[in-house]
């Protein structure tokens, strides 16, 4: 089943002060299957966040269609959970209050939502922190909460915009590893934005490689790595290296000549 379809998406911004027009997205089409992990990769400023924000319903598109679960996207909704680079946790709510927010909006009763909240906190390794406030957590833990808060709602698709970009390199590796394990366990549908090639390859089933602005899809690369995945095995596998190299050459605009992966 297809979870999400993006068809001939086009986005033009008009600068509020200069009135200048910027075509951020030229023409982008791809789809994500249910239970699939798809990354979108491209140079900074090529419109990745714009694509995600349109899917989330935060901003309007200029042309094209976006459908999630068979219905066209017009506004934000709980079928599309978003994990932000800035975490965007509610500072005035405890960890438990943050993680149960979506369930409360759905009208689930307190006992059930708190149980569900505790379960998902356990899953992301935040058990025991229920009563803490977000500012009392480290950056890595904050983003674990950001993931848990979305996961617990079981959205049709999880949207993640460079969720680990502001986290130190070592913790980032650990978070990527844990996200992979989580994905392999629960099989949510994930649409992931990043500019980090290795991250995209390690996490994804497929990687949508964008050109520079105005962006178009350069290619969609299948990642041939078996699951479960871990960093140690990945960096030593030739499949990992060739996929990374292939995407590097796609991004630098050359044709791939080193072992055409897909």
Partner 1 sequence: MRIAARVFAHPVVRTLGPFVPVVLLWWLIARSGIVNESFFAGPGVVWSEFIDLVRKGILPSYLSDSVTRLAYGVGFGLLLGIPLGFLVGLNRWARRLTWPVLIFFQAIADIAWLPIVIVWFGFSLTAVTFVIVYTIVFPLTLGVVAGVDQVPDELVRAARSMGASRFRVFLEVIVPGSLPAVASGIRTGLGYGWRALIAAEIIVGTSGIGFMMFDARRVGDVAEVFLGMIILGILWYALDALVLAPFEQATVERWGMVRQVETTR
Ligand X SMILES: Nc1ncnc2c1ncn2[C@@H]1O[C@H](COP(=O)(O)OP(=O)(O)O)[C@@H](O)[C@H]1O
Which residues contact partner 1 (rule: CB under 8 A)? 56-58, 75-78, 80-82, 84, 86, 88-92, 101-102, 105-106, 133-136, 149-150, 153
24 binds ligand X (CB under 6 A): yes
Q: Residues touching ligand X: how many (CB under 6 A)?
A: 13
Which of 22, 20, 17 has the alpha carbon at shortest distance from 46?
A: 22
Nearer to ligand X, 1 or 14 (CB): 14
Q: Which is nearer to partner 1, 136 or 184 (CB)?
A: 136
**How many CA atoms lie within 13 Å of 210's alpha carbon, on the beta-carbon side?**
31
> What residue number has its CB nearest to ligand X?
49
> What would the x/- binding string for ligand X be over residues 34 to 63, using CB under 6 A?
--------x-xxxxxxx-------------
**Look-up of token digits 């995407």:** 247
Nearer Cβ to ligand X, position 52 or 157? 52
Query: In angstroms, what is the minimal distance from the CB of 47 to partner 1?
Result: 18
Q: Which of residues 24-53 bind Mg ion (CB under 5 A)?
A: 49
Q: Which residue, 50 or 142, is less far from ligand X as judged by CB?
A: 50
CB of 136 to partner 1, least distance (A): 7
Residues 150 and 84: their CA atoms lie apart, in Å, by: 10
Touching ligand X, residues 203-242 (CB under 6 A): 213
| Shortest separation between residue 163's beta carbon and partner 1, angstroms | 13
Decide which of Mg ion, partner 1, ligand X, none touches 37; Cβ closer than 5 to 8 Å per partner kind.
none
For Mg ion, the nearest residue by Cβ is: 49
Give the nearer residue to Mg ion in terms of CB position, either 49 or 180: 49
Residues that bind ligand X (CB under 6 A): 13, 15, 22, 24, 42, 44-50, 213
Residues near Mg ion (CB under 5 A) are 49
């Amino acid at each position: 089943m297809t979870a999400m379809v993006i068809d001939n998406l086009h986005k033009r911004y008009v600068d509020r002060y200069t009135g200048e027009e910027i075509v951020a997205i030229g023409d982008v089409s791809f789809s994500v299957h249910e239970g699939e992990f798809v990354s979108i990769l491209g140079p900074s400023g090529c419109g990745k966040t714009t694509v995600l924000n349109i899917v989330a319903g935060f901003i309007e598109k200029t042309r094209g269609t976006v459908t999630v679960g068979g219905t066209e996207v017009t506004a934000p909704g709980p079928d599309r959970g978003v994990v932000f680079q800035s975490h965007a946790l509610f500072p005035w709510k405890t960890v438990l209050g943050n993680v149960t927010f979506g369930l409360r909006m759905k009208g689930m009763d307190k006992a059930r939502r708190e149980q569900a909240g505790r379960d998902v906190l356990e899953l992301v390794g935040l058990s025991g922190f229920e009563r803490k406030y977000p500012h009392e957590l480290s950056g890595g833990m904050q983003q674990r909460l950001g993931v848990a808060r979305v996961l617990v709602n079981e959205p049709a698709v999880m949207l993640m915009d460079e969720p680990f970009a502001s986290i130190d390199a070592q913790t980032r590796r650990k978070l990527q590893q844990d996200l992979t394990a989580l994905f392999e366990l629960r099989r949510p549908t994930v649409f992931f934005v990043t500019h980090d090639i290795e991250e995209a390859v390690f996490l994804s089933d497929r990687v949508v490689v964008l050109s520079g602005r105005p962006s178009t899809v350069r290619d969609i690369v299948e990642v041939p790595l078996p699951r479960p995945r871990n960093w140690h095995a990945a960096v030593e596998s030739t499949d990992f290296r060739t996929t990374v190299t292939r995407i590097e050459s796609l991004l630098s605009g050359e044709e791939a000549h080193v072992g055409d992966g897909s």
